[in-house]
Structure 1
């Protein structure tokens, strides 16, 4: 079912690691064709995320020790391209990025039910199909394969979820990366009706974690800038702590059950100090800097559990879609940009001035 498809499309190609100049908007990119087990999606909206920037600048490489913001716009002077992706493998260029994808199925592969054409869908951003569903292996949509910064994107049929709700396409496009990352952290930490500290709580993943933790009945303490405290409270946070305040001084030692950390950086040792004995620390980001100092005595004398959270079990995204359809949370969209202004959108993202998601509107296909 591909005969009615155009031959070319508008898309943003990433031509190599580096600054914003590596993003190239083109109108002559070949439209992908779905493989036997894939669907082809006419993309309507795609969110802006840290991972898109991190991949562009090669931040995932162990050769980089600075925070994301340092090279976010201009890139870094030197990157070891051999390990500069989520998977620790070289990124293949040119690459169409975009971890978030909301759109409509336009065509299906030979092994997919044709009745799926027309479904409004979200793509699970941590894909398992391409690695045969092996434990703790995954591809990131828009990193190890082409993603949503284009008019069309191909994705595995079984990891492309139909969504039935009254949300706008822009709202749905704010969900996959940030909210699945947050839900995965809470799933891995087995958060219940406990006290949780969320760092970077005004960011995309942090604000999602606040909302999803409240959904689980948790008491949420949010760490963010003072200027965004009211916005974070509006999401459901029970207490907000200024990010420039020492968490131990503000909260006391052993005061929380779980830490959800997206920041790391110099403050990192304090996050273990505020955990109770037997507490859990879970992370899926380090925008404040990836290098941290650990006193192993704190770890073992307090019987702490440290969790790195990237790989997602199948139920994480399926559960998230069910929350959307039940309207159990609502993403906050700060601004919508046309795809042609992707560089401006990423610059604004890096400025951290706005609370809420930035989303790219994908141009309609010309007939």
Structure 2
């Protein structure tokens, strides 16, 4: 099959389009034809080794210094990244084969893959991630455990469905962990990105009042997906909102704006993080944390209800897919370069070549 193999830590030259062996199914697995695969920040982070404790800058800065990149033993999502391997966390696919003993009635179903897998069950937060810990979807085919694929009945295109798993799964998990309910005031940082735009929609779906932080040029687009108000990302969030004005902060930006996000939280408020694209090292005034009785929540391992919730939202027409741009699989480097320019709202998607066509 055709695939993009990431050879190791480094720049775009590590992304090599080549022919590789078709995955061999083990017990309990299914083979999917990849119909469309979303692009996420995590794939870039993994390629450049951003998860290493030695990296102190945001993703963009790390990529800018790609000529200085060196392999990092702790640069992967959980442990050392299994280079060379196939990245790709998002998948809209079709079941084309099942392992012996599997349910052959599922062959032909269009499905989404729950990319975050709890390897020891939902009582443990240990995870393995498709496209970070094992071969993913930047290919014509991918194999996964049968219990991690979810049929979805809707009229969305393959490309639209491919925007959902990682971004919306992460956002829904943050809202679930943050216990967002109707009437709460939710502040979403990085609201024009994949996770941020998903969080805006999903928070509005829960009946929350949503204030979003985004670039001024993207304000109208963020308002159109449900935000009640948009604050420019360069503005002083405390001056705009006032102290103790927000119930929940949903943030995957961090960086220099972190302190202000805690200041606008009400007493007893909750801050939920799933990333740090603006920079992983922040300044925390412990007095703000303990005097206001704040709760800081990390959000990586998806809780059990999250993905089933997303499927139901799609099937009931309660979500709007945000496709920013579609690229052929072989143009993955161009897609990642443009992704990092952050001029888009929503998600980029890769489409594998029609079966039989050379990359």
TM-score range, shorter chain: over 0.9
Which residue is 1:180 aligned to?
169
1:72 is aligned to 63
- Among candidates 203, 213, 225, match of residue 203 of structure 2: 213
Question: Residues of 1 paired with 2:203 and 2:112: CA distance?
Answer: 22
Cα distance, 1:72 vs structure 2: 2.6
Superposition pairs of residues 30-49 of structure 1, within 5 angstroms:
30-49=21-40
Q: List aligned pairs for 1:1-367, cutoff 5 A.
A: 9-26=1-18, 28-72=19-63, 75=66, 77-79=68-70, 81-87=72-78, 89-128=79-118, 130-131=119-120, 135-193=124-182, 194-366=184-356
SS of the aligned residue for 1:360 comes to strand
Instruction: Answer whether contact 2:122 2:304 (CA < 8 A) is retained.
Output: no
Q: CA deviation at 1:111?
A: 3.5
The whole-number CA distance in structure 2 between the counterparts of 1:123 and 1:79 is 32
Contact 2:28/2:99, CA 8 A, preserved across alignment: yes
Q: Does the Cα contact within 8 Å between 2:4 and 2:139 map onto a contact in 1? A: yes
Residues 75-104 of structure 1: CA distance to partner in whole angstroms, max 9, x if unpaired? 3725562211111x1111111000001110
Whether the 8 Å contact between 2:88 and 2:138 is mirrored in structure 1 is yes
- SS in structure 2 opposite 1:35? coil
Q: TM-score, normalised by structure 1?
A: 0.95
Give TM-score scaled by structure 2 length.
0.97
Partner of 1:81, secondary structure, is coil
Q: What is the CA–CA distance in structure 2 between the aligned matches of 1:16 and 1:74, rounded to whole Å?
A: 16
Instruction: Tell me if structure 1 keeps the 8 A contact 2:48–2:69.
Output: no
Aligned partners of 2:11 and 2:69 also within 8 Å: no
Residue ranges of structure 2 left out of the alignment (5+ in a row): none
User: Following the alignment from structure 2 to structure 1, what is the Cα–Cα distance between the partners of residues 85 and 337?
Assistant: 20
CA contact (8 A) 1:197 1:258 kept: yes
CA displacement, residues 295-317 of structure 1 (integer Å, 9 cap, x when unaligned):
11111110000000001112111
CA deviation after TM superposition for structure 1 residue 132, in Å: 5.2
8 Å Cα contact 1:39/1:156 also seen in 2: yes
For 1:212 and 1:272, the matched residues in 2 are separated by 22
Match of 1:6 in 2: none
SS at match of 2:87: coil
Indicate how the Cα distance of structure 1 residues 107 and 117 shifts in structure 2: closer, same or farther if over 3 A, else same.
same
Q: Matched residue of 1:72: which SS?
A: helix
Q: Measure how far apart 1:366 and its partner are.
A: 2.3
Is the contact between residue 20 and residue 73 of structure 1 (CA under 8 Å) also seen in structure 2? no
Q: What's the CA shift for 1:247?
A: 0.6
CA shift for structure 1 position 110: 2.1
User: Structure 1: how far apart are the matches of 2:211 and 2:331?
Assistant: 35
